[in-house]
Structure 1
Amino acid sequence: MKILITGMAGFIGMHLAKVLSAAGHEITGIDNLSSITYEASLKLGRLQALGFTGDPLSEPRLEHDNLTFMRLDLTDEDAITKLIAEGGFAVVVNLAALAGVRLSTREPEAYFKSNADGFFNVLNAIRLVPQGRRPRLVFASSSSVYGDCTKVPFSEDNTEIEQVSVYAATKRINEIIARTYASLYQLDAIGLRFFTVYGPWGRPDMAPFIFTRALLSGKEITLFNQGKLRRDFTYVDDIVEGVRRIVEGRGNQGKAVPFAVYNIGCGTPIELFDFVHELESAVGIKGNLILGAMQQGDVHQTYADVSKLQRDYAFRPQVSLHEGIGRFWDWYKNYYQVKI
């Protein structure tokens, strides 16, 4: 199956490309290699881990086995339309976006352009492909669309949700326009609300990286909301397995679904205190913990109800927090050549 992955040099994109290419699928990946949220060097490292040996910053196209990479921005409407029109893809997996709740409050214009305008370009390009050749769309949404929801666990059936960050709003916009397009133009689209993904090759602006750097440097670790934030930490391999099942159509009793939204999470919220203690145990260093106030745009907890994904795709997360943190630390100390 020919599959397009946008954001392939990103955290989830890299892991998904690795799994799908190993399964024999023909993968084309694009990424703008932006350094807005973190240095592009990690993105280049992910591409190298996929087997690419050329320079993606200067070469227009890289190939390795059944993987192809092109540097391309979703906001380039003409290029995106041409790629999807001529690519012959069975599925488009849209993972490209500016991530990060807190940064989105400071850079709203950049987030809207990338996450809303860019997504629309992908969606509209799919619409323009004639029926019969039109690819299915699987796209990344986020648990942040639930806002500071108090009804737990978070269910896809709960429509009384209010977003509290620009990032979350852009993801909700994606869901709404995709649902509308699915209804108006008879295209298939599935949105995936990811819950606090962590693991090797993750984003440096996320808690595992921030806390690990602080442990190794002896700096303070600030736990917001007095350390009482709860997150449904989900290991990246579990996320990718859920995406793979949907991409390959392994579920829904063989029925076509024009539009659907699924939570992909672990279903077990963890307090930040407990997460840090697990990380301290893996690294072997006690942290200097400082309690801080709640941050603008943040939420008190995330808690995934994954029963819908279990029902339709037999998905069950497999990796415990203890095992996932151990794998993350093994990768981190090797990649950054940590000596303790």
Structure 2
Amino acid sequence: MTNTENSFIASAKRVIDIEAKAISALNHRLDAHFVDACHLLRQCKGKVVVSGMGKSGHIGNKIAATLASTGTPAFFMHPGEANHGDLGMLSKNDVLIAISNSGETAELVNLLPVVKRLNVPIIAMTNSRQSALGQHANIVLDISVEKEACSLGLAPTSSTTATLVMGDALAVALLDDRGFTSDDFALSHPGGSLGRKLLLKVSDIMLTGDDLPIVNHHVSVAEALLEVSKKGLGMTGIVDDKNTLVGVFTDGDLRRILDARLNLHTAKVAEVMTEGGKVAHPEQLAVEAINVMETFKISALMVVDEHRQPLGAFNMHMLLKAGVL
């Protein structure tokens, strides 16, 4: 490496070391104040409103989003806009998380008398309990750092990282206390890939009715192949005279019988099908069906009820199209 490249690496390592120490120091501040903050947020009957200016505002926005997505209704309020009307967002049942490293940010401090008049409790994230914010707050969470990672000691770096981690600690502590589950998480993320993986069921994607590939076990291999080709799933279900699924016939089965040189028009599909076969159920999560398909190297599955009566079918392409893969 050149001297310049070594300098880049050295600067990066110094930043990471400083910020890691700032985060580690938070462990010693998780005391009764943190517990009180958790109780206050847990008992909040309205919304958790997070506010901060500048870099603290960016961090506050993220904390509000994390709280909201983990079961604590929350939103961000810009203190500058709040001074010009947006303070109407705040109601008496809310809790305010106010973020200011110095505790003296003018736009935020100007809001405090009105917030107190509304009788809205304040959780302050600041480095000074003696600051204007610290003195107005009901609970103070200490997010002070020994030094910023910026070599000039000016750019908010360690302090914003510590604030973000404290916010995450609050959100996850509340999540654990509520017994928030992956299903709950998915409900607040329905549009993303995570939501699709956690919410989408087999019944949401399977083909049904006339699109369902099904033949009776008495038909010839040639007739079964016609059904496979017509329905486009690379397989067909085989049912008995009571419409119970007794097996499947797939592209793989076809390759095996071609090697055996069977007469496709006279051989019965029941003679060459895969008996039984792996199946899915309509209420099963699509992601669970994927695990079965990958484990057994299957590209398509029949969907049946508790009596193995066929209800639907799907393949990997459909899962891919649905965004589950």
Per the normalisation by structure 2, the TM-score is 0.27
Question: Which has the larger share of helix?
Answer: 2
Larger Rg: 2
